[in-house]
A and B are shown apart, each in its own frame.
Chain A
Amino acid sequence: MKEGKIIKVSGPLVVANGMEDANIQDVCHVGTDRLIGEIIEMRGDEASIQVYEETSGIGPGDPVISSGEPLSVELGPGLIASMFDGIQRPLDTFMKLANSDFLVKGVETVALERETEWTFKPTVAVGDQVVAGDIIGEVPETKVISHKIMVPYGVKGTVKSIEEGTFKVEDTVYVLETEDGDKAFNMIQKWPVRRGRPIAEKLNPKEPMMTGQRVVDTFFPVVKGGAAAVPGPFGAGKTVVQHQIAKWGDAEIVIYVGCGERGNEMTDVLNEFPELIDPKTGESIMERTVLIANTSNMPVAAREASIYTGITIAEYFRDMGYSVAIMADSTSRWAEALREMSGRLEEMPGDEGYPAYLGSRIAEYYERAGKAISLGQQGREGSVTAIGAVSPPGGDISEPVTQSTLRIVKVFWGLDATLAQQRHFPSINWLNSYSLYLTEVGDYLNEAVDPSWAAMVQEAMTILQEEANLDEIVRLVGIDSLSEKDRLTLEVAKSIREDYLQQNAFDDVDTFTSREKQFLMLRLILAFRSISLRALDLGAYLDEVLEGTIELRDRIARSKYIPEAEISKIEQIQKDLQVKVEEIIEKGGLQHD
């Protein structure tokens, strides 16, 4: 391909002429260092290229060569447990090659480790007809993930040869007889990151993704194949929420994209994740995790690519039939990268300097989430759940990135600076957050956990809303003006907030709560309400009930620290509570009705 010449360098944006052969979205090598960039605009023979590496030291006159290919990722065994940068360069090998923690310019690496030997086991036989999306064999990639080798998009034919054995990713593992003659395939597929991988059929997601986080699972659940946004000001707990879901969510594969946030946060991930055990498999959670890091000390433009790289890998595993969750922290940094490039391109700015296409870019990303049936003769059901942190400046969610995100996602976990200051974590505001999947998930958990699940969730939510109204009255005319029933509502609401919603991510037991334990805990708190209401009806005074149950209420408060293996203890608290309140009623000499 013809070589172009740089005519202008402006930060991460390079303009080159003599590029008439190149196309928009082509990957280019820029300058003598061969920095990696992508064409984002073409005007005549002038190409505007966003460069994914530091551009200092290159200048007008330097060469630019287009590769003629769009920015793509390599898909195949070796993805899991790896850490990549925004354009899928493996960070550990990268650090070894460049001998530095920071990206050194122009170091060429390959995404998938070439030397590893994988055990491949065919699942089709010679003579079988296969089409794109069919699984032709499996590689046990980690202890918990079997990597399915699929026929690439656009290919179909008859298996001519296939063998069991150990192979490197570039070795030929099977040959197909196609209309255009015999074709040999290895275990690598390439896919352009900006294009969603095709599916056979989109499905309506219904099954909840359990995260082990009580406020999320109970009140604002997300489904497998759904999308959720976590907006919140600095320090409100966005990163902790994302880490918690990455650690405890019941997705089979997790893609964690650290995008423009503090570098040491990714170091935390690297240190912590390998030591955490997935409760479902008993293995380290790294055995199902892919990390993509583009922290604030890396070039801006690569951030822009990182979320596409992430979601493409997510779709690839979805096609194998897995449930995948992708976390992006934070999409605001990604949007800022978009804004910076747009500014340098001198495009007409929209709201707050963001380009006019911000909303459609955000939508394009989240629309790649979903539950789907894959291509292939036996389509598999898989899902991609997308959870994006948003960092609105000053916590003001009326800004464009949050608003564009909320227009498309169906779950909103609004983190609240005031709650975070009060150390109420996760600081998800229960009054303004929402999940449009609540009904579906309610139906699902009524079946899976207990028929009273959805009604209980509704009751608890109503109590919290009543509390907000009563608080208003108390502010105006004081607590004395409330009836005993209202005062009981306040007590129960406090218990829901403190004993249920608050969850310490750093406590060994509290960090994760199974849905069974969530059910028992919530039922216990609501039982306190119904038992107390009955006592009031029978003539007991609220103060008597509260005084008589001090010790029991303390046990309710500590029920979150009861290990999963001993959750029957929660039922015992409920029985003891019942007995105790009977005593209070009897002591008052009041009659049962």
Chain B
Amino acid sequence: MYKKIGIVGDKDSILPFMALGLEVVAVTNEMEARIGIDRLAKEAYPVIFVTEPVAQMVPETIKRYDNVAIPGIILIPSNQGTLGIGKERIRENVEKAVGQNIL
């Protein structure tokens, strides 16, 4: 079954993904970021990529989807390079899931 993937971030970072068929939501501020992520979640995108700088703008929104199966929010570096928070999140979640830090 075909599943849609969405991506939220600043225009320069995410535009290339359009070519891959992702639903691209370009945002410039907190409000747009929040509405964008919530919209994709509501439209049942199972996976949403969010660039790290945008995720930092809307921690409340990211937290909302922490404990639900769908959508999975995956933080990716922006074109400015990684901030390390995506990896940190994965580490935290793995630790929660298996009970210890195995990464």
Contacts and interface: CB of A to CB of B under 8 A. Distances in A.
Interface of A: 480-481, 483-484, 539, 541, 543, 588-590
B69 to A, nearest CB: 9
Contact of B35 (A483, A543, A590): A590
A541 B64 contact: yes
Contacts of B23: none
A481 B67 contact: yes
B35 A539 contact: yes
Contact of B68 (A483, A543, A589): A483
A541 B60 contact: yes
Contact of B31 (A481, A483, A541, A589): A589
Interface of B: 31, 34-35, 38, 60-61, 64, 66-68
18 contacts: A480-B66, A480-B67, A481-B67, A481-B68, A483-B68, A484-B64, A539-B34, A539-B35, A539-B38, A541-B60, A541-B61, A541-B64, A543-B60, A588-B31, A588-B34, A589-B31, A589-B35, A590-B35
Nearest to B39: A539
Minimum-distance CB pairs A-B, first 3 = A480-B67, A589-B31, A539-B38
B70 to A, nearest CB: 11
Contacts of A589: 31, 35
Nearest to A477: B67
Contacts of B60: 541, 543
Contacts of A483: 68
Contacts of A484: 64
A553 B78 CA distance: 42
Contacts of A481: 67-68
Contacts of B67: 480-481
A360 B61 CA distance: 65
B58 to A, nearest CB: 11
A405 to B, nearest CB: 48
A486 to B, nearest CB: 11
Contacts of B35: 539, 589-590
A455 to B, nearest CB: 29
Nearest to B31: A589
B93 to A, nearest CB: 13
Contacts of B31: 588-589
A541 B31 CA distance: 13
Nearest to A479: B67
Contacts of A590: 35
B76 to A, nearest CB: 24
Most B CB atoms within 10 A — which of A481, A484, A541? A541
B29 to A, nearest CB: 10
Contacts of B68: 481, 483
A428 B96 CA distance: 41
A588 B67 CA distance: 23
Nearest to B32: A589
Nearest to A543: B60
Nearest to B66: A480
A119 to B, nearest CB: 76
A483 to B, nearest CB: 7
A39 B7 CA distance: 91
Nearest to B35: A539
A459 B48 CA distance: 36
A3 to B, nearest CB: 87
Contacts of B38: 539
A483 B70 CA distance: 11
B27 to A, nearest CB: 13
A539 B36 CA distance: 11
Contacts of B34: 539, 588
Contacts of B61: 541
B44 to A, nearest CB: 13
A484 B34 CA distance: 16
Given A539-B34, A541-B61, A588-B31, 7 more contacts: A480-B66, A539-B35, A539-B38, A541-B60, A541-B64, A589-B35, A590-B35
Contacts of A541: 60-61, 64
A539 B37 CA distance: 11
